[in-house]
Amino acid sequence: MAQEDLFKKLVSHCKEYGFVFPSSEIYDGLAAVYDYGQNGVELKNNIKKYWWDSMVLLHENIVGLDSSIFMHPTIWKASGHIDAFNDPLIDNKDSKKRYRADVLVEDQIAKYDDKINKEVAKAAKKFGDAFDEKKFRATNPRILEHISKRDALHECYKKAMNDNDLNELRQIIIDEGIVCPISGTKNWTDVRQFNLMFSTEMGSTSEGSMKVYLRPETAQGIFVNFLNVQKTGRMKIPFGIAQIGKAFRNEIVARQFIFRMREFEQMEMQFFVRPGTEMEWFKKWKENRMRWHQNLGFGADCYRFHDHEKLAHYANAATDIEYLMPFGFKEVEGIHSRTDFDLSQHEKFSGKSIKYFDAELNKSYTPYDIETSIGVDRMFLSVICAAYHEEILENGETRVVMKFPPALAPVKLAVLPLVKKDGLPEKACEIIDDLKFHFHCQYEEKDSIGKRYRRQDAIGTPYCVTVDHDTLKDNTVTLRDRDTMKQERVAIDKLNDIIAERVSITSLLKKL
């Protein structure tokens, strides 16, 4: 199946089975804003719990925080967001569509890569086992031409971005002959900077009002609470503060479903360390975070690091963890060594000392910070992409099954009476009444057992219990495994132990 078709299927599956709905749908929606349905919210909560517990439960020296979305506006001056949290935008005068100029150029670079990969694939097919890919890439004239064009473009682009040269960025778009996908023309406006923060007014007009921002990242809430947490928690360096919360960005081009949203959620952890030790911690957190992703069992090939060439002004090292989405490897998480930039800036702008006294060294300093920052929604999307499977069954039917890691599945167990009579529904409800305190169960009695299995497969329920007439005699049920579809007969009083062991976040955390 073409990856584009797969992605369309995923989006409609998410809607059909109550994972994700477009926001304000009955009013025709609101661009790049989404709501999570009954299954989506459970999956999202499980992802958040996996992250939170892996940080706060498993590390004695990491504590949580829940700071507010509105913060004093000077915070955004200090952090650099008011002056520099911009994207370069360009409009097509014919279609009136707006684009990110940097994304247009990056897409063009990707086109050269596509051409190169296509040439390689064609040659591999032609030459079979005798194909030497390394040699082909190094000598084939067409490949060399594409590489040379791509590298030249990449150099110009890098320079334009580093120099913040918007005229040059426009010139690259013109020189490359990049056209608007809607109008097909090259009738472009100048490139302008566009600040991504949403603002609103706080306070009534009679008192005077203040312009405040909806936070574009949760990180600043951690930095401005550094001393509160450190002092009240008697935290010793190295230590971390973790937070999960909403963030808002007025993205120019919001694309690819929940990949780029205007309202989204972040899970961020700032780890404060002694100056000079930050590279060692950066490496440790890189490894730790990759392990967390790979622990879900989707396969190591789905992930890669992308080290940043161009570092933000506050960072001395940065990498992304990318996941292979149907539209290519894309950033899911960023890991940054942010130096002492943020704490120093808040010290400067607030006029309050934000220093840490290190008793072992007998001196005060501004700690350095390693940040791990992951988008809940992007993580959700990667889990949905990895879990979605279409399988042809022996009878020729297709089953769609979401192979979520059991600990993340929205519903852990469905309890299904074989028929809607003879006391089987009552027995099924009895089982749920006992198990519902331990994990999320669902009762279903409508339709044939086969159809009910299919519905549970589609939402990724790892186990189905069927209550039949034998159950009433011997207190045993059939336990069906989602992935293998194999069934085993188990005693009702063993269900809790069997399932809890397989579906708990604890068992996932223990594998870390």
Among the residue ranges 67-75, 224-232, 294-302, 326-334, the one whose residues contact ligand GAP (CB under 6 A): 326-334
Give how many residues touch ligand GAP by CB under 6 A: 19
Query: Does the footprint of ligand GAP cover residue 67 (CB under 6 A)?
Result: no
At its nearest, how many Å lie between ligand GAP and the CB of residue 270? 9
CA angle, corner 153, sides to 150 and 157, nearest 5? 135
Return the amino acid letter for 345: Q
Among 91, 168, 331, 434, binds ligand GAP (CB under 6 A): 331
Our CB check for ligand GAP shows the closer of 235 and 376 to be 376
326 within 8 A of 366, measured Cβ to Cβ: no
* Residue 76 Cβ vs ligand GAP, minimum distance, rounded to whole Å: 13
Does 221 engage in binding with ligand GAP (CB under 6 A)? no
User: Which residue shows structure tokens 């594409």?
Assistant: 146
Using the rule CB under 6 A, is 369 a contact of ligand GAP? no
User: If you compute the radius of gyration of the chain from its CA atoms, what whole number of angstroms results?
Assistant: 27
Calculate the CA dihedral of residues 77, 83, 88, 92 and round it to 10 degrees: 100
CA distance 114 to 143: 11
Please give the helix or strand (H or E) that residue 267 lies within, else none.
strand 263-273
- Residues 258-297 interacting with ligand GAP (rule: CB under 6 A): 260-261, 264, 266, 268
Q: Is 88 in the site for ligand GAP (CB under 6 A)?
A: no
378 is a site residue for ligand GAP (CB under 6 A): yes
Q: Where are the beta strands (DSSP E) in 283-402?
A: 303-307, 317-325, 328-339, 356-358, 363-365, 368-375, 388-392, 398-402
Q: Candidates 88, 240, 245, 375: give the one binding ligand GAP (CB under 6 A).
A: 375
Which residue, 286 or 482, is less far from ligand GAP as judged by CB?
286
CA distances from 247 to 198, 214, 318, 394 (A): 10, 7, 21, 47
Closer by beta carbon to ligand GAP, 172 or else 315: 315
| Backbone φ and ψ of 480, nearest 5° | -105, 130
Residue nearest to ligand GAP (CB): 375
374 touches ligand GAP by CB under 6 A:
yes
Nearer to ligand GAP, 320 or 468 (CB): 320
Residue among 11 and 435 whose Cβ is closer to ligand GAP: 11
How far apart are the two ends of the chain, measured CA to CA in Å?
Answer: 34
Chain residues in the site for ligand GAP (CB under 6 A):
217, 219, 249, 251, 260-261, 264, 266, 268, 331-334, 371, 373-375, 377-378
